[in-house]
Amino acid sequence: MKRIAILGSTGSIGTQALDVVRNLPEEFSVEVLAANSNVDLFAAQVEEFRPRLAVLADESAYKKLSEKKFEGVEIAGGRQAFIDAAAVDGVDIVLTSMSGFAGLEPTLKAIACGKDIALANKETLVVAGELVIKSAQDYGVKILPVDSEHGAFFQCLQGEDSRTIEKLLLTASGGPFRGKKRADLIDVTVNEVLAHPTWNMGKKITVDSASLVNKGLEVIEAKFLYGVDYNQIQVVVHPQSIVHSMVEFRDGSVIAQLASTDMRLPIQYALTYPRRLPAPVNKLDFWKMKALTFEEPDTETFRGLKFAYEAGKTGGTLPCIFNAANEIAVNAFLRRRIKFLDIYDVIEEAMTSRAVKQNPTLEDLLAEDRATRLFAEKFIENIT
């Protein structure tokens, strides 16, 4: 039985992870649940799974929660309690399913406590890939990717020698605006952006999927997870989202992972690795399968991908700048303060204006994250 902690239990990945646990009750014990502020859902989760520790990062949400009593459950609140939740004794694996840059500190803390990481928080690797990978090596912990694409790479690489990787073929649905040009995208609404054709996800990542920023974050994530060069990562648009990614080896052979679009599958694989257990997901039926198509991404229209390669290749604090500017821009877009294409301008302005520091420490990254957010906020104020 694996003892797990879920950081970000009320989000899209967190709730689906708990569904995985529900389907395989013999396999897991939930030791820790932590979330931000969704009291009602969190209280129901605590009631059902009875973790030893339950943490809400938001103080006022924590106050509401602490009015209830859960037999045998310790309740805590605040940002530091959330970070400390990553370090509880008697936990084998920590699922980092919180959203955004806030995932970095708890992830590093869990690694330093020798816990394996089921990594759903991609910003952790984007912002601090070198720190995180080095730390995982130092403490001998496994990083098990939960993203469907990186989970696909991980599965394709089982039993293979990673030195024989020629290329990682990172598939992308292309999002709701595939085939559109800049002129078509000037006035797209938040609702249009949130109507993703194949995946049902949280809001932030759905906007990132439409802008291809998400695919850019995944490029950087793949670079750190598999130690390849950026020119070995090729994004392939695949609108059906059946092939979740592929690896080309140096003999020309390509290994691909395919499945229905159900995040419970990569979550379960990461949590049960190296075992494969039955999962209640729809099976693919190749006798009734629609055609699978592949095409080149349009990085002139969807500049998010181009920015990510630039940020990744330059390295240092630039991926942090890229990510922080995007988080602020997406937030402003979701609040209808800026237009969809403005997201690219915010990122571009931050990436060209902020000075890049190489070999940043965690403190450097935390400082740059704060500074870029302020910079992006100010830029948005000026253009609105």
Q: Which residues is 143 bridged to in the sheet?
A: 117
Q: Which residues is 170 bridged to in the sheet?
A: 235
Nearer to its own copies, 140 or 278 (CB): 278
Q: Residue 295 carries which DSSP code?
A: B
Tell me which residue has tokens 């030195």.
Answer: 163
Nearer to its own copies, 114 or 179 (CB): 179
CB of 161 to its own copies, least distance (A): 7
CB of 62 to its own copies, least distance (A): 36
Parallel, antiparallel, or unpaired for β 243-249 and 165-172?
antiparallel
Nearer to its own copies, 286 or 382 (CB): 286
Write down the H helix ranges in 35-84: 39-49, 59-65, 79-84
Applying CB under 8 A, which residues contact its own copies? 155-161, 164, 166, 169, 234, 236, 243, 246, 248-260, 262, 265, 268-269, 275-279, 281-284, 286-287, 289, 291-296
What strands, in cross-sheet order, belong to the sheet with 53-56? 74-77, 53-56, 28-35, 2-7, 93-96, 116-119, 143-145
Dihedral, CA of residue 325, residue 331, residue 333 and residue 334, to nearest 10: 160
CB of 327 to its own copies, least distance (A): 30
Cα–Cα distance, 82 to 66 (Å, whole number): 15
CB of 215 to its own copies, least distance (A): 14
Nearer to its own copies, 200 or 359 (CB): 200
Cα–Cα distance, 93 to 96 (Å, whole number): 10
Amino acid (one-letter) located at 160: E
CB of 227 to its own copies, least distance (A): 17
Nearer to its own copies, 72 or 278 (CB): 278
CB of 232 to its own copies, least distance (A): 13
Nearer to its own copies, 37 or 260 (CB): 260
For the record, the structure tokens of 57 come out as 């990062």
